[in-house]
Each structure stands twice: as C-alpha cells, then as structure tokens.
Amino acid sequence: MLLKIRDLRVSVEDKEILKGIDLEVNPGEVHAIMGPNGSGKSTLASALVGKDYFQITHGKIDYEGKNLMELSPEDRAREGIFLGFQYPVEIPGVSMVNFLRTAVNELRKYRGEEPLAAGDFLKLMREKKQIVEIDSDLTSRSVNEGFSGGEKKKNEIFQMALLNPKLAILDETDSGLDIDALRIVANGVNKLRRPDNAIIVITHYQRLLEYIIPDFVHILYKGRIVKSGDKNLAVELEKHGYDWIKQELDVEAKLSE
C-alpha cells in the first residue's frame, strides 16, 4: 500500500476542517475526491504535503510504511509526493530553469544519484514540455510570473512530469481552464499514469473525470468522506448535484436522531 490515512482530523486556527478521514491508495490507482466548496478538499491536500498552517490534531498518515507527519515538506517531495497547486504562486526573479534544475537535482541527490549536467537537464525539459504541449521558451521566464491561468496549470503538470512522483495530488487542476486547456492537461496526466504510481485528483466538477478516468470516487462533505464508489458515482453526482448528497445525509441524520 502506498498511502493509508486513518481518522485524520485537521484544524485551521482552532477550527476543525477535517473530522476523521480514512483513505487507502495503492500503486496504479487514480482516486478522485469530490465535494462542494468548503468541504475540506484543499485542506486534505495541504495536510498531505505538510503545510504547517494546517494542524493535524488526530490520526495517522502512513506513506510507504513511513509516518508522513514526521517528514518536512521537502522530504515528502523527495520521497515522491507531489502537489499540483490550485493557485501556483508567482516567484519573480527565480527562473524556471534554475528552479526546476535545483528541484530535480535535490531529488537525485536524495536518491544518491549524480546531478544532471546542464545540457542533459535542458534535454529532459524539452522532452517533458511536450507532455503538456508547452511551446513557449521557459528558459527566459520566472516561476509562474505572467503565466495565464492555463499556463500555470500546464506548468504544474509539466513539473509533475519532470519530478516523476509516486503519489501526485492534483488540487483543482481543472479550475479556470477552458475546454482545450483542460484536454491538454488531462492528456498530460494520463500519459504519466503508470502501474507503479498513484494520483489523487481533487475536483469540484465531474468534467475533468471524463478525461482522467478514476478507479475510485470519494465524496467529501463537511470534513468527512460520506460516500465512495467507482467512476459512476461521479456521473450520478453530476446528474443530481451536491444537493442530492446533502439531502441524503440530512435524511440519515434525522433518522438517527
């Protein structure tokens, strides 16, 4: 098993956002986590990559037999965890090439490999750029600076391709994309699917899941996974909307009273 989350509770400024999450992810699987706004989807993603603004108050996250909570954000990345950010930050003055080369070589160093020479790295970049059809010359640009919404999301998947993670968490990678960009990004992700890695796709809409077909779909609502199923659950959700889940849950809540 790659990732095993047990009864995870996470608070932000003393407000509990996640109220007991259980999730298991195996290599080769794609999990989709869906839910209405404010259900805690991004909190889950942030907790997995170790953003310290989010306090884990209870529970366990086991990753390849290691206690993930003991690892720094950079060590999580070196262990193969990747987050595709919902809002990638612009970093003026840090060049894409310098940033990515540093990142790739930090990962190589962690694995005991020699750093890539400049020429080899540029070659690798050219190759991976094709996965998400980036044709602009990244060598002269700063990290995300002046990138359009679509470019920023493509750039996240491009980084995923370069860093080759075992577990990729894609946080609302579809938000703000037009249909063409969505297709490019989704195709990019599909090209990176392998039997030995796993992907958690976090999304509000089912639209993305028409391109990235998940093995499992989980519905997150008020900090809990309230329903799990296969890809058909997403279709159902699209048909009935989130009100369907809310009503169903509220009925259950009434019955249990």
Partner 1 sequence: MKESVKELNTAEKYVEFFRKNQPVISEGDPAYLLQLREKAIGLFEAEGFPPKKQENYRYTHLEPWFGKEFARYFRERKIAFDIDDLFSCDIPSLETRILMILNGFFYSNGQKGLTELDNGIIYGSLREATRRYPELVGQYLGKNAEMEHEPFVALNTAFAQDGIFLFVPGNQHLEHPIQIIHLLLSDTDQMVQHRNLFIAGKNSRADIIICDHTLSPHMFLTNSVTEIYAEENADVDIIRLQNEHNSSFQVTNTWINQERNARSRHSTITLHGGMVRNNLHVKLQGEGAHTEALGLFLIDKKQHVDNFTVIEHRQPHCTSHQQFKGVLDDDATGVFNGKIQVFQDAQKTEAYQSNNNILLTDTARMHTKPQLVIHADDVKCSHGATVGQLDEEALFYLRSRGISVEESRLLLMYAFANDVISRIKEPALKNRISHLVEKRLRGELSRCNCCRMQCQD
Alpha-carbon gap, residue 44 to 53, rounded angstroms: 12
Residue 111 or 239: which CB sits closer to partner 1?
A: 111
What's the min distance (Å) between Cβ of 87 and partner 1? 9
* SS3 of residue 80 by DSSP: coil
Residue 76 or 227: which CB sits closer to partner 1?
A: 76
What's the min distance (Å) between Cβ of 14 and partner 1? 20
Residues interacting with partner 1, by CB under 8 A?
49, 51, 72-74, 76-78, 82-83, 85, 88-89, 91-94, 98-99, 102-103, 106-107, 110, 142-143, 159, 163
Alpha-carbon gap, residue 197 to 192, rounded angstroms: 9
Alpha-carbon gap, residue 29 to 112, rounded angstroms: 28
Alpha-carbon gap, residue 127 to 138, rounded angstroms: 13
Residue 44 or 219: which CB sits closer to partner 1?
A: 44
Residue 159 or 203: which CB sits closer to partner 1?
A: 159
What's the min distance (Å) between Cβ of 91 and partner 1? 5
What's the min distance (Å) between Cβ of 98 and partner 1? 7
**Phi and psi angles of residue 228, each rounded to the nearest 5 degrees, phi first:** -130, 150
State how beta strands 30-34 and 216-221 pair: parallel
Residue 152 or 227: which CB sits closer to partner 1?
A: 152
Alpha-carbon gap, residue 98 to 233, rounded angstroms: 43
What's the min distance (Å) between Cβ of 34 and partner 1? 23
